[in-house]
Structure 1
Amino acid sequence: MKIIFLALFFSGISFGQQIITGKVIDLTGEPILGATVLEKGTDNYTETNFDGEFSLTTKRPNTTIVISYAGYEAIEINVDIKKTNQGVIKLQGYGCNLPIRPQFTIFSDYGVLNNPYGINLDFWNNLNQLKNTTRINANLTYQTNLDSDYYFRASAQLYEIQSYSNFSMSIDGSFEKINFQESFKPTIYSVKGIFKTTDNLGVIAGGKLMRLNTTSFLAPTIGLTYDEYLWTGFSTSTTVSFFNGNTQYVGRIAKDFGRIATFINYYKLHQFDELSIGLGYKFYY
């Protein structure tokens, strides 16, 4: 596991002092509580609060601060009073030799309209051996009415496989299976590209193949997405797929509160529609 020290330093000069503020988070955006921020060579220190934030008034105009946390390698940052520093620093954790460090989120789903019982498993990690900013996400969703009806979805996303100065590109692939009242049993395959700007806004474009009985349908897919995991843990997305006579709508709103994760999903295809509410908990390696 790694934690990221995201620092926004503001130099406020007062009798040779300056105020340094910042935030300590992990790779998933969860704040780190209790990380130590020490002015090197002094006994002047503070700790991050519940939101991972800190404020330290230094004793010297140009100084070095040391960021440390139990189980992680400490890191030193030189602070220059003449300028504002901004950057992302990674602290390597001890005792973890895996190049891929996973996070699991397990949700309990409640389907409001048709399938009230469900479970959602979300897994993602950082692919350090490929690219520092690239990560993979896998998701399994299953909802049922404990009878014949069910909705199943398996998906995998490779995030930020290509980054440019003002946008990044990701790829998403999925498989869906629906059994609704024994009369509607489509199987759907999907591939989408996600093109996101530096302000976290994204455009989704791709295609889907639906097999229904003995007939196949192709559909273009378009959509919008926005996420701000780093500070707020909030994300939302919506897509529309135009099958022949069957338009599919998919919408999602998600919000994380530390290790607690929540979401609201809406799904509609032909006569099948579902509004789902999920509550989950994150596990880290």
Structure 2
Amino acid sequence: MNAPFPQPGKPALRLLLAAPRGFCAGVDRAIEIVERALSRYGAPVYVRHEIVHNRFVVDGLRDKGAIFVEELDEVPDGAPVVFSAHGVPKSVPANATERGLDWLDATCPLVSKVHRQAERQIEAGRHILFIGHKGHPEVIGTFGQVPEGTITLVETLEDVAALDFPADAALSFLTQTTLSVDDTAEIVAALRARYPGIAGPKAEDICYATSNRQAAVKAIAEECQLVLVIGAPNSSNSLRLVEVAQRCGATAHLIQRGSEIDEAWFDGVETMGLTAGASAPETLVQEVIDRIGEFRTVAVEQVVTAEEKIIFKLPRQLAD
């Protein structure tokens, strides 16, 4: 990671660069699926919803020939279509198959794992309490894996208190993969206290990348007066990184590009932290460092809290 050379008249700034940061294996896989589909089928390739929550990534794929749509009925007959990394209800691929569309599923395998867990809980006769954020594509996709009325959304501790299931009800819980680790642990503890027999996943649903990025921010934030998180405002995992930094006592801002940085944020700041959500490419990290270098002399220190080596397989149609 390049830092600008020291320049006279620019005050020094220590920049702690969190690692891991940026792209996770699920995002890498989703982007590669769209790029390989464009190579195989030629443009245009349709993508239902943003492939990942990052405007820079989406615009780059659009420039290569991807067309992003909100619903399947916007995809012409005979065109290839890719489903986003966040997952889709079962009805979407079923509809695509009905129409004879050539479709590719870029759902993150860790989200797909939650989908299969949901199916198993319903098969076992349990009602699912799903911890997540209303309206998030991942929540919509998971709800669409099971019959209506068999799953209830829980967002807060207040939601847990308001549940009206009897204490001995056959219940289970699952979670969105991109939540706050600490907040989710509190909600799970409250559910277990109210429903001692509730079933839960064998392993945590919050994905490795979300957990690792939050831990990396915790490792740097207490030393920082300011933390910048590169990510989109509709990116759940990026918003959680801002919250983590704030809870550690730092002022934190979510930004999408270096151009959004306000020089006034740096008044009195000697040490800052920088990270990127799981949908933000490393190119934007360098862009932000270059922008800060326009008004401060930056000394970058990378703080590594975990090594990530996970790679997910491509769909069999593209795994050549």
TM-score using structure 2 length:
0.28
Q: Which has the larger radius of gyration?
A: 1
Structure holding more strand per residue: 1
